[in-house]
């Protein structure tokens, strides 16, 4: 602790360098994060619609296809805002994006496995 304190105190003021390395304003970062969140969540929701449609049609008698797609819509439309919120809100160490990305990867894999 003491070492950390002294290392901070001994640091020289570096105004010029700090200004040059100023991080992007939070608004720009947030807009970027929002765009990424929307795009990723949309892709995951789209994969959900297709996977659920396939899954139910597969386990049903084949005649369930329109129903299956509708079920997919019901789940995906409900999930889409939650995915965006999770992606955007859980920004520390990109937890939200990673979680939604993993979900998307599972959905994409399921899409390749399912007929």
Binding site for other proteins (CB under 8 A): 26-27, 30, 34, 42, 45-46, 49-50, 53, 56, 64, 67-74, 76-78, 80-82, 84-85, 88-92
Taking the least distance from each CB to other proteins, the nearer of 3 and 17 is: 17
Taking the least distance from each CB to other proteins, the nearer of 6 and 39 is: 39
Taking the least distance from each CB to other proteins, the nearer of 78 and 106 is: 78
At its nearest, how many Å lie between other proteins and the CB of residue 115?
14
What is the SS3 assignment for the chain?
CHHHHHHHHHCCCCHHHHHHCCCCCHHHHHHHHHHHHHHHHHHHHHHHHHHHHHHHHHHCCCCCHHHHHHHHHHHHHHHHHHHHHHHHHCCHHHHHHHHHHHHHHHHHHHHHHCC
At its nearest, how many Å lie between other proteins and the CB of residue 98?
16
């Amino acid at each position: 602790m003491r070492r950390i304190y002294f290392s901070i105190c001994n640091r020289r003021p570096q105004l010029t360098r700090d200004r040059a390395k100023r991080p992007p304003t939070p608004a720009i970062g947030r807009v970027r994060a929002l765009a990424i969140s929307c795009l990723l969540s949309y892709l995951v929701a789209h994969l959900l619609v297709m996977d659920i449609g396939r899954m139910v049609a597969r386990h049903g008698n084949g005649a369930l296809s329109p129903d299956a797609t509708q079920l997919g819509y019901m789940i995906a439309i409900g999930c889409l805002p939650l995915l965006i919120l999770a992606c955007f809100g859980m920004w520390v160490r990109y937890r939200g994006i990673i979680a939604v990305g993993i979900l998307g990867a599972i959905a994409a894999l399921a899409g390749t496995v399912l007929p």
